[in-house]
Amino acid sequence: RSIQIGSTSTTVNASNAGRRLDQIMSIYNNGQDSVSLFALLSGILGGTALVVLLIYSYSKGKQLRTTNVIAIVLIAAVITMNLTNVLYRSSLDKQECQPSQPFIRGNLALLVYISIQRNAPELLSQLIGMGAPVDAVDNEKGSYMHHVAQLNRTNMFALVMSIPGVNIDDRSVAGETPIQIATEKGFVDIVTLLLKSDVDAENKDSRGQTLLHRAAINSDIPMMKILLEHVDTLNTPDVDGITPLSLAVRNVDMGMILLLLENRIDVNTQVDESYTFFELMLSTILGELRASPDYVLEEEEKVFETIKQAIEQDAHLSGQDDDGKTPLHWVTRLHDSITDPDEGNSFLKRVTFLLLENGADYAVLNNSGERAITLEHVIRHDYDDWLSPVIKADPDYLNQATINGRSLFQYAIELGNSETLSVLFEHGLEPKDWVPKTLVPLKFVVQKNDLATARLLLEQHLVKPDSEGMNSSSPLHVAASLNQDRMIELLLEFGYDVNRQGVDGNTPLHYAVETESTFSILALLENGADPLMWNSDGLRPIDHARNLGVPAILDVVKKAADNFKQVPPLSQ
């Protein structure tokens, strides 16, 4: 493996690392002691031999003394040469294994990496004590701390930090620092240790992303919590202009968004070219709802409370996008597009009211000239409290607006909301042609048995009792055939003729008896309906009662007939 130490690069073999480690440790632990012991023994033996020879030479004659002196000198020379050679070789061996040599330093560095990889803190401690180089990097320029972070070796962090001159902000070939790696991996403990060691917590990777980018991408809430205690780069853009805030929102992670809100971020911060944090959050939630209605239905309260919390932190509610639409435009238009009552209608209505109650401008126009809240929207979704303010914002529009091809007059009647219709009339709503024209408004209301709307139409004098022709059925005929006694009484109160003859000369009582509408029969008879009036077929209500064969109905009709004088048939 290639190990670079400073500006020097050397290649070491992991299979030989153990053998080299033994050699190094043997030299360091035993080498110096062996050299010292050999030198001591050589000195003792040499000295003893010299003393013996000197004594012996002085005890003999002069000639022998001279010979012995020569021998002594020769022996001393041999001993000195031998000792010098031993000391010189020992010095070479010692020098060869000094940590300053690239090969030995490379082995030490490799063994440090191996000890980290195999989680061997005791070996790491020994290697550091032997002078493992601080500036070593692997072939990816990964330092010891890179490997500690990569493998989450919290038990080795302090050991690596103890190496003199260690730099915990070193970058690898990929431009990553140890804390960036640990953040990406989700190793909160390592990140915490690095943050406490004065690491550069605001550094960026090669794409300009900060630690908060990585936590946001991974939706790592525990990591985001610890990072927010030390850094404030939530709105720092990367090379693509994407900020940690926008990433957190686009992941639609309500837990992460709530965490950011709890940390009192500025919800009006511009997180990209188009949106503030609040706008992007709301837009993303609405997008999820549009794609999958179940998204909100499953956690409506959590999503709603998140939006509410953002609004309560003074979010600007009337900012406009490229189309001039405000958040209120977005909510109401999505609401209008949903027809299924279960698909988020309740949620969208709550959000609309939340925006309005907190000051959203309902009258602001988008680029197409459409207001954030339209009359159509208010009427369609029963926003009665906001009907008058919306009308006042554009009073001329009242009689121009349409919903599904129908005038507001017709739509409000069909909706069956008399309160809405009453407010519209107060502001000058004019009756419009009914679609289809074959059905007049009051007949429609009678068919729905909508007493409140019927009374409102009658009070507004929008329909007259004699407006139908002689050969057409009146609303009273309709009410009679549908067994609507209260509707009959209301129509009679406003002047409808109880004996008016319609299609084929039938009176309301003809219809009531023929359909066995007992409540209608009683209400009509109590109000003067004539059981003896002829229709075009020469039949009277009493004749229908006889043909019906219902004794109770026949008895009531016969009893009422006693109060009337028989008139000739229509043919006469």
Confidence band of 385 (pLDDT split at 50, 70, 90): confident
> Each residue of 409-424: pLDDT tens digit?
888 888 888 888 899 9
**What confidence score (pLDDT) does residue 303 get?**
87
**What confidence score (pLDDT) does residue 101 get?**
42
Q: Does the structure show a pLDDT above 80 at 297?
A: no
Residue 486 inside a domain? The answer is yes
Higher-pLDDT residue of 201, 91: 201
CA 462 to CA 314: how far, in whole Å? 48
Could you tell me what percent of the chain has a pLDDT over 90? 40
Residue 396 inside a domain? The answer is no
Confidence band of 120 (pLDDT split at 50, 70, 90): very high
What is the average pLDDT value for the chain, to the nearest integer? 82
CA 459 to CA 456: how far, in whole Å? 5
**What confidence score (pLDDT) does residue 155 get?**
95
Residue 330 inside a domain? The answer is yes
Domain boundary among 373, 407, 432: 373
**What confidence score (pLDDT) does residue 35 get?**
45
Residue 229 inside a domain? The answer is no
Residue 528 inside a domain? The answer is yes
**What confidence score (pLDDT) does residue 481 get?**
95
Residue type, position 347, single letter: F
Residue 30 inside a domain? The answer is yes
Q: Does the structure show a pLDDT above 50 at 216?
A: yes
> Each residue of 95-116: pLDDT tens digit?
443 433 444 566 788 888 989 9
> Each residue of 125-157: pLDDT tens digit?
999 888 888 888 887 888 999 999 999 999 999
The highest-confidence range among 245-249, 429-433, 519-523, by mean pLDDT, is: 519-523
Confidence band of 224 (pLDDT split at 50, 70, 90): very high
Residue whose token pair is 């003999």: 60
> Which residues span the domain enclosing 328?
266-373
**What confidence score (pLDDT) does residue 402 get?**
85
CA 264 to CA 258: how far, in whole Å? 10
**What confidence score (pLDDT) does residue 82 get?**
59
Residue 462 inside a domain? The answer is no
Q: Residue 133 is inside which H or E element, if any?
A: none
**What confidence score (pLDDT) does residue 408 get?**
86
The highest-confidence range among 247-251, 405-409, 451-455, by mean pLDDT, is: 451-455
Q: Does the structure show a pLDDT above 90 at 471?
A: no
Angle at 31 between CA 28 and CA 37, to 5 degrees: 140
**What confidence score (pLDDT) does residue 95 get?**
42
What CATH number corresponds to the domain at position 513? 1.25.40.20
**What confidence score (pLDDT) does residue 358 get?**
93
CA distances from 48 to 41, 55, 75, 515 (A): 11, 11, 12, 148
Q: Give me the numbers of helices (H) and strands (E) for the chain, helices first please.
A: 30, 5
CA 343 to CA 238: how far, in whole Å? 37
Query: Do 545 and 557 meet the contact criterion of CB atoms below 8 Å apart?
Result: yes
Domain count across the chain: 3
Residue 371 β-bridge partners: 365
Query: Is this model's pTM higher than 0.85 or not?
Result: no
Residue 323 inside a domain? The answer is yes
Q: Does the structure show a pLDDT above 90 at 324?
A: yes
**What confidence score (pLDDT) does residue 223 get?**
95
**What confidence score (pLDDT) does residue 31 get?**
43
| Residue 344 per-residue DSSP state | S
- Concatenated DSSP letters of 399-413: TT-EETTEEHHHHHH
Residue whose token pair is 């926008």: 246
Domain boundary among 346, 373, 400: 373
Q: Which two tokens stand for residue 247?
A: 């990433």
> Each residue of 57-97: pLDDT tens digit?
666 655 555 666 666 666 666 566 655 655 554 454 444 43
Q: Which of 16-20, 119-123, 186-190 has the lowest mean pLDDT?
A: 16-20
CA distances from 269 to 101, 236, 279, 410 (A): 56, 11, 10, 45
Nearest one of 522, 520, 572, 512 to 548, comparing CA atoms:
512
CA 295 to CA 291: how far, in whole Å? 9
Q: Which two tokens stand for residue 218?
A: 């991974």
Domain boundary among 102, 123, 143: 102
**What confidence score (pLDDT) does residue 415 get?**
83
